[in-house]
Amino acid sequence: MSLEPGRTASFSRTVTERDINAMADVIGDYNPIHTDPAAAAQSPFGERIAHALLPAGYISTVLGMILPGPGTVYLHQGLDFTAPVKIGDTVTATVTVTEVLNPVKGIYKLRTTCTNQHGETVADGEAVVKYAP
């Protein structure tokens, strides 16, 4: 697979209540902003929001399954979370190769961005991965 700068891939998924509940169960974060509709209604968001790491997981899907694909491992991920993700939002994670750091070792730098169905960025950052298919 050619991993020259500019290569890009995406993955989209609509966030469900089940996704948020499963995330809470897997990571143990039962913060009421995620899990309690009454408490979340009193928050600045007015409703439940997804854990910030849920869209980050969609980035992992792109990296591990599409670009570069199976055999990819994270070395670094930096993310800024810029907007909440709510139940019913469709999040698209996009990964773009920005730099080949070490072609011999298969180390790449990538831009990682998640947007919602309105085109608003909900997470933005950079990853470094090692690709060894």
**H helices of 11-99, where?**
17-27, 32-35, 37-41, 53-61
Give the integer Cα–Cα distance in Å for 36 and 33: 6
Mean pLDDT estimate for the chain:
96
Pull the structure tokens for residue 3. Answer: 């991993």
* CB-count exposure of residue 30 (10 Å: 0-12, 13-18, 19+): exposed
Asked whether residue 132 carries a pLDDT value surpassing 90, the answer given is no
Give the integer Cα–Cα distance in Å for 97 and 50: 27
Structure-model confidence comparison of residues 3 and 110, the more confident one: 110
Query: For position 37, what pLDDT does the model report?
Result: 96
**pTM of the prediction?**
0.94
* All domains in the chain, ordered by first residue: 8-131 (3.10.129.10)
Percent of the chain whose predicted confidence (pLDDT) is above 70: 99
Asked whether residue 133 carries a pLDDT value surpassing 90, the answer given is no
Asked whether residue 1 carries a pLDDT value surpassing 70, the answer given is no
First to last CA, the chain: 9
Interacting residues of 74 by C-beta distance below 8 A, sequence separation 6+? 60, 63, 127, 128, 129
Q: Which residues is 73 bridged to in the sheet?
A: 130
Give the integer Cα–Cα distance in Å for 29 and 69: 29
